Structure 1
């Protein structure tokens, strides 16, 4: 193994020295034209501004048939002019059947079934960090910031103007991209990296102005060049987003009392600020934040040893955070989550009167940007408020307060040096400081991603350290390491790597890690079709493997391997599947005991075979469907009990017209004779496991009616139901990980329901400004009635208390430059 890694690293650095070619050798160039009379943004293309302006044309297919010239019937012509305020772009996209151009109405940042035109703009021309401005054939605006060549952040939103028009010859677009939406140098003459994309749904193809080779490198490395932008200056980038909201939350009332409890209205006022500190760095701050209109979490029943991870939906934590998420040391849901500890209540003598179950964020700020030499710098800070529990003595009636979460400060610092348009080295530090007698935590990571000049071979890796100031008598400094080398260009690709986390590595105060004290060898090899062949536009096949050990003791815990296949046909039918195999495994985490993870106690899991399949039909049609199914088989050594799990998902969707569509989803799963820990005695030797059947249903419905590209009504519904009856119980043999008969009895049946319905109306009444009306109905229940039918469960669920939330929020965009001109 060591010899293979040494040889691979040597070959990598030889290729670095001997390869002198750049990926994008023959980039197209376009002369920028200054104008004194900017065009009116109406999509008409009749302004005199566009006369006698150089044309970007002769587009080349990006996919599926990479490198093929554009067809004569669908030519594209793009023009660009600029003035002291903005860059203006027009595009004429010819189509012989304009009435058949797909143009589904969607709300912002959603493509839908539409043709679109995209400008990919990189003022610093570094091949890694462009921004994208997109207009669909229905007029919807989409924008995104790309980082590290691959990460597309559609949560990033700029304020810019666009208009489109479907004509007798096709469709046209005009765009005005103000300089305040961009970051560029203050130089007298500039050249910007730029590329133009056109998606043609009816032809199932995408064309680009500058050819993008799909065999090597990333698409961000193939920009053309717009030259000679003269005497433009970065403006003062200062924007204010003041907001006001009214929320009415009735807490929980019976289902037939929807209007009861809406007496106390909550009024919130605050503001978000964006300020360009320099031409390359931006400050984002949220003052008195309000996250009352974020979507619900997809909560499920969790009987495992690890926490459930949720996606981030608060815009401040999703927009422009690419620097802070490096190394997976930042899990933003830690900020404003539950208190760090529970209240200490003497159940015999005390009563818990009131308890804050949610930590309030007071404010947050982030500063990020990148110098002209490719050094990215990021600073993040957030402060959360103190939470308390109110406890009363049953005898004396005396009331005391107990702090469950102190005033806390969350901080991140990042340095990210990029070079060669494909490589980077990063240093990140996260820190949590809790005031008072609470734990503090610190984590640091050094990360690297190195590619040769042809972006054929790469080395990825990281080394991380965590330190927790909790109990000085316990070890509190942990380490993790991960490195791999691979080939990620051409038809054949491969990777081989090694990773470990020692027993004390714990980034979970600000990050998320499910298990530590592990090490393993991993890798894959795969083949992909790069040009259409037969009925296929593309397909790929991969084989992966993992060999796993404990880090502290070196105990072999098991291995797994699998074969996967995916394909897309020329008729837009996508499908694939996996065949996975796991050896007998030693699970040191299902026994909920700290020493178990160090190699003392484990649960022996049997060999496991899994097969699954998925498919998706053509979204261009009014009716489309996604489906999947899976089956897993293994045999537990306890009385030779056969275990199996199986399930399916089906998600039909129907587009009634370009404004109205619905998607229904049903997921069903069943696990028979599953085993899991249910109890542990105080002497740390008696671990009790239960044999259970686990059945889950997940019903969902999403729909939207779009009145215009700036006004839409959307519905999101989800009901998750799980029932888990237990059959019999066993005791874990702590010497060999097997299960043995026991006299233990207990009530552990579970019946779990999570019901959420969100109705949301959004109206962008001015550029960057929104009015959002929001309603949510939610029900949660958990009991031991695990043997009822689906419809009986629904009847019982509707008898549970309901929570109804109404909210109205207005956000207004104020640009300092416009404000300055007024005064």
Structure 2
């Protein structure tokens, strides 16, 4: 009997020690009962206690949660530069993550920096952070002689949580040291724990009811633009639009965008797409389509939002019911014509998704549609991931498609994609084998998908080493191999690919990496070609004013237009840093050389023709931003490629945008964009050559949140 009593007392004591009942108060509360301390290092993953302790106290009222951080400062304490919201961090910081529905596997993410910049988001189940989600959090930062103090205010009415009181949540606090690039966490939580990361947080209890805000926002906007090439200005109903955001409950968000405008979105970066089988892939940078997209559980193969060129109306609903996430997205594209030729049709896009997700079992069901008069393409995508033994996962994905287009054959086409994966992740290892089969008539018109009538099987492994006591912060290596059978319904043939990659990171600020790959690929005349590639690079991030990376590569690959393999060499570089306080920059680019002649005779189908391809060119992208204060940001960017084609010897683009937040979530934007091409090479009279403008426009955009 005594043993039972002792065990019960020990159990209640352990629960009391582990869980924190957050005090309800309108004034700061600093006691041992609501304090979080004993931060341990998670990157590197050696669990060392923090040498300069950080203490955190939590309390709340009906509107807000308050977090008070007191952290001892090191001699290398980094204040950093002012940055626009979610732009990044180059300084010390403290962070708090709130896990309001632990079984849903997401966490609200708030950072406080010495310079006052804002950085928030939502960490999702794949450990990525969606920075497109913005809250109304704020904080006060005070830098003393030896102690850095932060008081953070987090509005609770904006969060998703179960309405039953008391609220059982979790919290993870983090202290980051910018100079050493070390992360300390309380309690210990490492993203490599995967879904267990969300269970690793400190249990907290809120016993008083939280006031739920209606959180209804209207954001009308007005855009005025002027074409500097054609000397025309625009003003019509298409220059006016509105965004509406509504949170009807603590777990549901609705957004509607009428005639959305993206004038202030930067131009796409220049990239090396000059020897590609498929159309260029553009990353999505439009806010509406990037925010909460993870809630839909789709990848770009089945839903590629850049297919929606200029939406007239777009809406989105995302929500959560305990372990089930759901989402709906719809958009009507705008018809764009050049005289009688339709460049872009007014298709309707829709995504419906339901994702039950438990710690050891993940399910997904998604319906993607793209429709118009006389045309439809419906896709059902489903998946299951199950950890049936510790660290041993089985994954299966099935995608079914149906398409009919009266303007083409009018025939209804049906296709399927099936994939099976087995993954084992013991300790620092990651081992995987997989098989995928795709039928000939699969159609994923809403996505970025160009393959079919094939099957492939492969395997890969990866090892990630822990930190050592000397200079090594982390290291690892991986290898993979894959065999693909193509043209299954006609004349099957096989291609293969394999490669290896290794890396090592040294304390505190440099690293090396190396990768080698090889394989075979078939040309258009049914000949098989072998290829290889080798790359070695290093990264140095020692100084605040200058960081950089450089990689050298050599290889031999198939040039599709020449239907033959040629040697290649080149290098990639990246530079970044802070020139002075509030001014930061980054430049990245590449130089590529091929061994073929610029003019090559190519024989195809019995006919010989001369193919002209540039064999040496450069690609450059750059950005320069000035942040006089938190509300004002001036962004500038340039992209350039010197690939010569059809009498054009280079293409260059430039943009500049001034954004001023004159009230919270109310913005004034003034900008300029231009694209030019070089039609005459450099000469004595024109050292830079002659450039002609293909487009140039200035714009003004005003948005106001009510």
- Does the pair score TM above 0.5? yes
Partner of 2:5: none
Partner of 1:493: 430
SS at match of 1:277: strand
Partner of 1:595: none
Alignment of structure 1 residues 21-420 onto 2, 5 Å: 28-35=18-25, 37=26, 48-50=28-30, 54-71=34-51, 74-97=52-75, 100-126=77-103, 128-213=105-190, 216-218=193-195, 219-250=197-228, 252=229, 261=231, 263-264=233-234, 268-299=239-270, 302=274, 304-327=276-299, 328-336=301-309, 360-372=310-322, 374-390=323-339, 401=340, 405-420=344-359
The counterpart of 1:633, out of the listed 556, 581, 602, is 556
Task: Tell me how far 1:263 sits from its aligned partner.
Answer: 5.0
Q: What is the alpha-carbon distance in structure 2 between the residues aligned to residue 522 and residue 790 of structure 1?
A: 53
Alignment of structure 1 residues 674-823 onto 2, 5 Å: 690=611, 692-723=613-644, 751=648, 753-780=650-677, 795-798=688-691, 800-814=692-706
Label 1:642 to 1:84 Cα distance change in 2 as closer, same or farther (>3 A). Answer: closer
Q: What is the alpha-carbon distance in structure 2 between the residues aligned to residue 540 and residue 287 of structure 1?
A: 48
Alignment of structure 1 residues 611-626 onto 2, 5 Å: 611-618=534-541, 620-626=543-549
Task: Tell me how far 1:159 sits from its aligned partner.
Answer: 2.2
Partner of 1:457: 392
Q: What is the alpha-carbon distance in structure 2 between the residues aligned to residue 790 and residue 79 of structure 1?
A: 68
1:421-480 Cα offsets, whole Å, 9 max, x none, are x53100011111112x4x3211111112222575x2222231101111125565611111
Task: Tell me how far 1:579 sits from its aligned partner.
Answer: 1.1
Label 1:719 to 1:282 Cα distance change in 2 as closer, same or farther (>3 A). Answer: same
Label 1:512 to 1:246 Cα distance change in 2 as closer, same or farther (>3 A). Answer: same
445-454 or 102-111: bigger deviation: 445-454
Task: Tell me how far 1:313 sits from its aligned partner.
Answer: 1.2
Task: Tell me how far 1:387 sits from its aligned partner.
Answer: 3.5
Partner of 1:576: 513
Q: Does residue 363 of structure 2 align to residue 425 of structure 1?
A: yes
Partner of 1:604: 527
Task: Tell me how far 1:51 sits from its aligned partner.
Answer: 6.7
Task: Tell me how far 1:170 sits from its aligned partner.
Answer: 2.8
Task: Tell me how far 1:514 sits from its aligned partner.
Answer: 2.5
Q: TM-score, normalization: structure 2?
A: 0.89
Where does structure 1 lack aligned partners over 5 or more consecutive residues? 1-24, 39-47, 254-260, 337-359, 391-400, 592-601, 725-748, 815-823
Partner of 1:502: 439
Partner of 2:477: 541
1:338-362 Cα offsets, whole Å, 9 max, x none, are xxxxxxxxxxxxxxxxxxxxxx421
Label 1:405 to 1:685 Cα distance change in 2 as closer, same or farther (>3 A). Answer: farther
Q: What is the alpha-carbon distance in structure 2 between the residues aligned to residue 570 and residue 293 of structure 1?
A: 39
SS at match of 2:693: coil
CA contact (8 A) 2:682 2:689 kept: no
Which has more strand, going by share of residues?
Answer: 2
Label 1:805 to 1:473 Cα distance change in 2 as closer, same or farther (>3 A). Answer: closer
Task: Tell me how far 1:552 sits from its aligned partner.
Answer: 2.7
Label 1:635 to 1:659 Cα distance change in 2 as closer, same or farther (>3 A). Answer: closer
Partner of 2:575: 652
Q: Does residue 499 of structure 2 align to residue 562 of structure 1?
A: yes
Task: Tell me how far 1:406 sits from its aligned partner.
Answer: 4.7
Q: CA RMSD for the aligned pairs?
A: 3.2
Q: What is the alpha-carbon distance in structure 2 between the residues aligned to residue 505 and residue 265 of structure 1?
A: 43
Q: What is the alpha-carbon distance in structure 2 between the residues aligned to residue 228 and residue 640 of structure 1?
A: 67
What is the aligned residue count?
Answer: 685
CA contact (8 A) 2:533 2:556 kept: yes
The counterpart of 1:532, out of the listed 458, 461, 468, is 468
Task: Tell me how far 1:635 sits from its aligned partner.
Answer: 9.4
SS at match of 2:288: helix
Task: Tell me how far 1:303 sits from its aligned partner.
Answer: 5.4
Q: What is the alpha-carbon distance in structure 2 between the residues aligned to residue 144 and residue 687 of structure 1?
A: 57
CA contact (8 A) 1:579 1:612 kept: yes
1:778-810 Cα offsets, whole Å, 9 max, x none, are 2246x8x8xx56999984451x13532222222
Partner of 1:394: none
Label 1:296 to 1:54 Cα distance change in 2 as closer, same or farther (>3 A). Answer: same
SS at match of 2:35: coil
Q: What is the alpha-carbon distance in structure 2 between the residues aligned to residue 654 and residue 58 of structure 1?
A: 33
Q: What is the alpha-carbon distance in structure 2 between the residues aligned to residue 182 and residue 643 of structure 1?
A: 56
Q: What is the alpha-carbon distance in structure 2 between the residues aligned to residue 198 and residue 768 of structure 1?
A: 28
Task: Tell me how far 1:143 sits from its aligned partner.
Answer: 0.9
Q: What is the alpha-carbon distance in structure 1 between the residues aligned to residue 428 and residue 160 of structure 2?
A: 36
1:217-246 Cα offsets, whole Å, 9 max, x none, are 353342111113322243223222222232
Q: What is the alpha-carbon distance in structure 2 between the residues aligned to residue 692 and residue 263 of structure 1?
A: 39
154-163 or 134-143: bigger deviation: 154-163
Task: Tell me how far 1:621 sits from its aligned partner.
Answer: 3.4
1:692-713 Cα offsets, whole Å, 9 max, x none, are 5522211233112211222222
CA contact (8 A) 2:661 2:668 kept: yes
Task: Tell me how far 1:101 sits from its aligned partner.
Answer: 2.6
Rg (Cα) greater in structure: 1
Partner of 1:515: 451
Where does structure 2 lack aligned partners over 5 or more consecutive residues? 1-14
1:375-432 Cα offsets, whole Å, 9 max, x none, are 1111111112334443xxxxxxxxxx56565542111110101112x53100011111
The counterpart of 2:418, out of the listed 466, 481, 501, is 481
CA contact (8 A) 1:127 1:149 kept: no
Label 1:604 to 1:375 Cα distance change in 2 as closer, same or farther (>3 A). Answer: same
Q: What is the alpha-carbon distance in structure 1 between the residues aligned to residue 610 and residue 394 of structure 2?
A: 43
Q: TM-score, normalization: structure 1?
A: 0.77
Label 1:220 to 1:806 Cα distance change in 2 as closer, same or farther (>3 A). Answer: farther
